Amino acid sequence: MKKMYWVLFTALLTIALSNNLSAQFGCSYNVDNGWVGPDGGPCTNTIITAVPFLRIIPEARSGAMGDAGLAISPDANTMHFNNSKLAFAEKDIGIAVTYTPWLRSLGLTDVYMAYLSAYSKIGDKSDQAVGLSLRYFSLGQINFTNDNGEPIGTGRPNEFELMGSYSRKLSEFFSVGVGAKFIYSNLASGQEIDGIGIRAGISGAADISFTFSKPIKLGGMDGQTTTALAITNIGPKITYTNSVNKDYIPTNFGVGTALELNLDEFNSLTFALDLNKLMVPTPPNVRENEDGVLVDHNDNPVDENGDGVYDYKQQGLVGAMFSSFGDAPEGFSEELREFMVSTGIEYWYDDQFAVRAGYYWEHKTKGNRKFFTVGLGLKYSVFGLNFSYLVPTSNQRNPLDNTLRFTLLFDFGGGSDEDL
């Protein structure tokens, strides 16, 4: 029963059979106050995309720093956040393997995400790097039933992403990176809903990123300041049926900064801050006007061509990305609420032992994910091991509540025995 609940929940978020849910979640409209939530405040208006597994933090180091990872020192897991950082990697070759249990608080043991990533420096000056990663999300074994509750077989829903990347320094302090990925999502292939056959969803996407990293001196201490910008998952919409009603994938705009300070010969400290925003159109608040026509917050018809699909879901890729910065029903104030904030701190002793902590914040009308994270890191020679643990701080449940995840890292050649 728990497994079936999880798959149905995932399907409701991702399968292109949503019948244009307006995402108002109990909101009401009146001519005096406009749209208000049940508590009299702003309406809940969460942005929902297909294949949300692409935005799950796949490794334990950033997972212990409030999911901040855009500008911290590079390792083999960098490709998820920011390809361009790999050009600054000190080691010639890096490999990382991460295992993330999923929904363990519900007693599930066969739902998990695995992440394998590797990079290699290339070029005469080692100012270039190529990388490859594989992300695999297993939803376990599912018993499918028909509308009458009769068994109709079993399945093992799964999703994966295969990614390649290239990064290069354009100057001593500035680098650029690009990535390409193949996306496969098989949630209920071969099954039917209301007579509509379900198939695996397939798409592709690209990433582009930039990093500026420069040594500094602060209060007599040596350090490094890094600023990064990354646009990830730039790709076409995806569908699980033959329907023209397709769903956006989670294209994301991220900007981050990190300050690393060498306190003395043995102690170092890093502070990190990331801001992320989905470059996906915000669902409109929908009401019926006096003529019986469904209209949005600007009194414009939400389905002008009458094809049964809301117009905001039919924008092209580029138009959808740019419009996502100015289409929120409540204007600029709601656009600001769509930013997710990750903050983290990392302490290293003698480049061998690390303690990490962080906090993640999302506005209550945009998902309400809020949690603290903590973690440890160990390093010996070419080998590293990271752990992270998530502590929820809101009523919004998180699939990683009270879950321990870990990453193994291996670095070879070049540089000194710095951070893994």
What is the model's pLDDT at position 123? 83
Return the higher-pLDDT residue of 63 and 41: 63
If you count them, how many residues does the chain have? 420
Is residue 147's pLDDT more than 80? Answer: no
166 beta partners: 130, 178
Tokens in use for 405?
Answer: 């995840």
Give, in degrees to the nearest 5, the angle at Cα 312 between 80 and 321. Answer: 35
d(CA 365, CA 299): 22
Using an 8 Å Cβ cutoff, are 343 and 273 in contact?
yes
How far apart are alpha carbons 96 and 74 in whole angstroms? 12
Is residue 416 classed exposed, middle or buried when 0-12, 13-18 and 19+ CB atoms within 10 A define those classes? exposed
pLDDT at 354 over 60: yes
Say whether pLDDT at 350 is over 50. Answer: yes
Torsion of CA 350, 353, 355, 356, to 10 degrees: 90
Higher pLDDT, 14 or 288: 288
Give mean pLDDT, residues 312-331.
90
By the 10 Å C-beta count (0-12 exposed, 13-18 middle, 19+ buried), 113 is classed as buried
Q: Which amino acid is at 365?
A: T
Residue 25 near residue 36 (C-beta atoms within 8 A): no
Mean pLDDT across 309-331: 89
What is the distance, to the nearest Å, from the Cα of residue 315 to the centroid of all Cα atoms in its chain?
Answer: 22
Using alpha carbons only, what angle is made at residue 324 by residues 320 and 326, rounded to the nearest 5 degrees? 125
**Residue carrying the six token digits 């108002």:** 24
Q: What is the CB neighbour count within 10 angstroms for residue 300?
A: 11
Task: Inform me whether the pLDDT recorded for 203 exceeds 80.
Answer: yes
User: Is the model's pLDDT at 38 over the cut of 60?
Assistant: yes
Band (pLDDT 50/70/90 cuts) for residue 14 is: very low
**What average pLDDT score do residues 157-178 get?**
96
- With a cut of 60, say whether residue 1 has pLDDT above it: no
Least reliable range by pLDDT among 24-38, 287-301, 311-325, 383-397: 24-38
Q: Which CATH number fits domain 2-412: 3.30.470.10, 3.40.640.10, 2.40.160.40, 2.60.40.10?
A: 2.40.160.40
Q: For residue 380, is pLDDT > 80? A: yes
Q: Average pLDDT, stretch 299-324?
A: 86
Q: What is the mean pLDDT of residues 57-61?
A: 94
93 Cβ contact list (under 8 Å, min separation 6): 118, 119, 120, 121, 411, 412, 413
pLDDT category at 7 given cuts 50, 70, 90 is very low
DSSP 241-295: SS-S--B----EEEEEEEEEEE-SSSEEEEEEEEEEEE-SPPPPP-EE-TTS-EE
**Separation between Cα atoms, residue 291 and residue 402, nearest integer Å:** 51
pLDDT in the model for residue 417: 42
For residues 254-260, give the mean pLDDT: 97
| Pairwise CA distance, residues 236 & 177, whole Å | 20
Lowest mean pLDDT: which of 83-97, 138-152, 378-392? 138-152
- Min mean pLDDT across 96-110, 203-217, 325-339, 353-367 is at 96-110
The values of phi and psi at residue 19, to 5°, are: 55, 35
How far from chain centre, in Å, is Cα 297? Answer: 29
Band (pLDDT 50/70/90 cuts) for residue 52 is very high
Backbone angles phi, psi at 190, to 5 degrees: 95, -10
Q: Which of 52-66, 167-181, 187-201 has the lowest average pLDDT?
A: 187-201
Residue 22's Cβ-count burial label (10 Å; 0-12, 13-18, 19+) is middle
Average pLDDT over residues 223-243: 92
Share of the chain above pLDDT 90, in %: 56
CB 16 within 8 A of CB 247: yes
pLDDT for 24 beyond 60: no
